[in-house]
Chains A and B, each alone.
Chain A
Amino acid sequence: MATTKKGGSSAGTKGGGATKAATKTGTKGGAKAADSDKTTRVYAATMSSLKALELTCEKDEADLSAKILSLQLATNNGDDVTAGIYQDSDDDNLGELAFEEYKTAVDEQSIKAIHQTQGDTFLFKGEAYVKNKPIKLLAFREG
């Protein structure tokens, strides 16, 4: 049983140890070299829930010693994926992330207002695949 203090992690990679550099991104408008302090992470469209995506991004922030900048829809070798962009940052004590799905501008404003009252910091608007469906999300840093 994995635990925070003593247990081993169950996270694994398919064919683990692959060494594909995750620092080059491209757009349909042409390849674009990412900044050296930025890392692109790719998440499967089959992500089980928005909460699972939130946990995964928190883990990546921790392991990369980085801050998340954005989440957006992408394709990877033609497959639908969610791309997360992170920027190296070892100087801050990062709080936990909170992702919220929204559908309309009214949703967006009300969710922002709720988090503001809780002292959370709004990070960005993004999009992600959850259970193979694209959703719109708001990302906050818990205060």
Chain B
Amino acid sequence: MRKIHLSLLLSLVAFFATGCPQEPSKSFNNKNSFVSNVNEYLAAAQGRYEQNVKANPDEAKRIRNDALEDAVAVINSNYTEYITRLNTRRSTADFIADVIELGTSATTGIVKGERPNQILGIALTAFRGGRRSSELNFYKEQTVPLLITKMDDNRAQIYALILTKKGEPVTNYSMKEAIKDIVDYYNAGTLIRAFTQLQKDVGAQAQKSENRVLALQGFEVTPEATVETRDLSVGARRILERLRNDLKDPAKSAAAVTTLQSIVAALEADDDAKKALEDAGVSSSDTDGVKLRNALVVIRRKAAKENNAGLLDKINQAIVDNEQ
């Protein structure tokens, strides 16, 4: 019986979905037929499910999962034809933008605890189809590929959910919830849902981007470096790196100390640099190479952090000039 229903559904969908390209979609014109056939099929499945749910939960689960797969197959068939028409532009008037959703009356019925078959009847007859193609046709040229991608994405997400839930026992995943997922799956492949989901995605991304931006206050902007200024700074750093290594080498440490003393002596000739060295607690008479080098690193870093380019340049130039 289930196969007969399914065959009937597929036949109807195929018939309605392959209409003459010059005519509006017959499937859309016969939307109610599509919905009513889905309704009829799911109502029958719901009946069998209810008969087994207590006495034979495994059989109820099988019925539920079969219904899911059958409905997904029909919706997929419908969707494929729909996308083909959108892609090939065979029927410009057939820009289906319908959406099926559970109406308020259906929700109310469920809340009031109606019998399952009645709930199903309410839910399925409360499916609401709304065609918005007139407003959307304007955007078709630019947006169809994007919307199809979004619809594919939406559908994949819902289907992944369905696949996950299919493993659940009937106590955790009821037939009613399965039907809701089927409706969601259908809606995921509609343009209205693609638009609204895109809007949500863009909004979320914008918020995410906004949150990523640091909000700073009172920082001085560091000027753009030139090749020359960069080379001077990097050259000074490399000399300091070499001196660090030389100080660890007994054969080179004495020469390294002499170099460092020369650098410090050169800086002591400048008032600003001398003050910085004094603050760092060193002078050219010091013989501790590590202390001298560390002091140079500290006063350079401090000058850089303060964007004191004048002092920084003097330090770097003294290091470069007194390299031995």
Chain A interface (Cβ < 8 Å from any Cβ of B): 1-14, 16-23, 25-29, 39-44, 47-48, 52-53, 55-56, 58-66, 72-77, 81, 83, 88, 90, 93-94, 96, 127
* B241 CB contacts on chain A under 8 angstroms: 93
Interface status of B317 (Cβ within 8 A of chain A): yes
Q: Which of A2, A26, A63 has the most CB of B within 10 A?
A: A63
Interface residue from B220, B226, B304, B306 paired with A42 (Cβ < 8 Å): B220
Min CB distance B267 to A, Å, is 15
Render B198-234 as a binary contact track against A, CB cut-off 8 A, 1 for contact.
0000000000001111111111111111111111111
Q: Are A74 and B313 in contact (CB under 8 A)?
A: no
Interface size on B, residues (CB 8 A): 49
- Which residues in A have their C-beta under 8 angstroms from that of B317? 6, 8-9
Interface centre among A26, A64, A73 (most CB of B within 10 A): A64
Within the complex, the shortest CB–CB distance from B188 to chain A, in Å, comes to: 24
Q: What separation, in Å, do the CA atoms of A86 and B224 have in the docked complex? A: 17
Q: Would you give 16 A-B contacts (Cβ < 8 Å), ordered by A?
A: A3-B228, A7-B228, A8-B313, A9-B313, A12-B223, A16-B309, A18-B307, A20-B306, A23-B305, A55-B224, A59-B233, A72-B214, A75-B214, A76-B216, A81-B219, A96-B234
Q: Is there a chain A Cβ closer than 8 Å to B320's Cβ?
A: yes
**8 Å CB interface, B68-110 against A:** none
Q: Which residues of A contact B216 (CB under 8 A)?
A: 25-26, 40, 42, 74-77, 81, 83
Q: What separation, in Å, do the CA atoms of A16 and B238 have in the docked complex?
A: 26
Q: Which of A4, A42, A60, A61 contacts B232 (CB 8 A)?
A: A4
Is B230's CB under 8 angstroms from A22's CB?
Answer: no
A to B contact number (C-beta, < 8 Å): 190
CA–CA, A5 to B313, complex, Å? 12
For A73, give the chain B residue with the smallest CB separation.
B213
Tell me if B63 is interfacial: C-beta within 8 Å of chain A. no
Collect the chain A residues with CB atoms within 8 Å of residue B303's CB: 63
- Tell me how far the C-beta of B206 lies from the nearest C-beta in chain A, rounded to whole angstroms: 13
Q: Which residues of B contact A (CB under 8 A)?
A: 210-238, 240-241, 244, 297, 300-301, 303-310, 312-313, 316-317, 320-321
Contact residues in B for A63 (Cβ distance below 8 Å): 233, 237, 300-301, 303-304, 312, 316
